[in-house]
Amino acid sequence: MRLKNIRIVLVSPAYGGNVGGVCRAMANMGLSDLALAEPRELDMGEARMMACHAAPMLARMQRFSTLGEAVADCSMVIGTTARTGLYRQHARTPREWAPQAIAAAQSNRVALVFGTEQDGLSNADVAHCTQMISIPSHADYESLNLSQAVLICAYELYLASGEVTPRAEKSPEAPAALRERMLAMWETALLKIGFMTDEKAEHMMLGLGRIFGRGSLTVDDVRILMGIARQTDWAVDAARSLAEGAPAPVAPAEVES
């Protein structure tokens, strides 16, 4: 569990709400090791409110009087900066850096350090860091909220960790044969309802093939489209039988598998 080896260190955060937001962002991305360095007094009620279901992380949060102590057992110490300037200009982006951090976290502890809301990391803080990263942001407003900055870094680590599990079994893409069977059923139905004549059918079916082919179609999608054609076909037959006083045809079976 490489994500377990990643510690988020907040240096002197001022707002409990931000610390709570950091807890939630960390939990969303599978991180759990949170530490404060040079802690100030915090509004813990606000922290719990913003942490929401991640509030238990606040109770486990470690407090260190200095940044040096907070990162003492970490082999890689990453500072985050929004500023440029000496010692900061070589900062990489979280996306460039995440795979290396995950590799290091396989067998060592990695710290990711965030400065105060007001001023970020001081030069003395930066001296504790082995590397710097900087989140890409627009020149009109470069500085992210603290919990937002943590989220972006945690998100990149989570994606790089290989621990992302797909949300749900997806319906597979429909193979060409199934798509063509579906189009043939539509052709039959569209002829029967008089939407097109035999002469126009080929041209029109090319157009429909283009419409249905523009995006991807899953097997489930194609089954829905087949069901529509089959039901249309049946409804016209049923109406004709009714008009002729003949018994209605059998309704189509449920969507074919």
Footprint on this chain of a second copy (rule: CB under 8 A): 21, 24-25, 27-30, 50, 52-54, 84-85, 88-91, 95, 134, 136-145, 147-148, 151-152, 155, 158-159, 163-165, 167-171, 218
Q: Which is nearer to a second copy, 117 or 237 (CB)?
A: 117
Q: Which is nearer to a second copy, 69 or 117 (CB)?
A: 117
- In whole angstroms, the minimum distance from the beta carbon of 121 to a second copy comes to 15
Q: Which is nearer to a second copy, 47 or 152 (CB)?
A: 152
- In whole angstroms, the minimum distance from the beta carbon of 30 to a second copy comes to 4
- In whole angstroms, the minimum distance from the beta carbon of 153 to a second copy comes to 11
- What tokens appear for 105 in the block? 């976290």
Q: Which is nearer to a second copy, 96 or 256 (CB)?
A: 96
Long-range contacts: 176-181, Cβ < 8 Å, 24+? 178/219, 178/222, 179/212, 179/213, 179/217, 179/222, 181/226
- In whole angstroms, the minimum distance from the beta carbon of 71 to a second copy comes to 18
- In whole angstroms, the minimum distance from the beta carbon of 123 to a second copy comes to 16
- What tokens appear for 144 in the block? 């992210």
Residue-by-residue DSSP string for 132-143: EE-----TTS-P
Q: Which is nearer to a second copy, 90 or 203 (CB)?
A: 90
Task: Count CB neighbours of 5 within 10 A.
Answer: 21
- Among 129, 44, 19, 18, residue whose Cα is nearest residue 81: 129
- In whole angstroms, the minimum distance from the beta carbon of 64 to a second copy comes to 25
Q: Which is nearer to a second copy, 5 or 189 (CB)?
A: 5
Dist. CA 117–CA 148, nearest whole Å: 11
- In whole angstroms, the minimum distance from the beta carbon of 68 to a second copy comes to 22
Q: Which is nearer to a second copy, 167 or 203 (CB)?
A: 167
- What tokens appear for 41 in the block? 């007094």
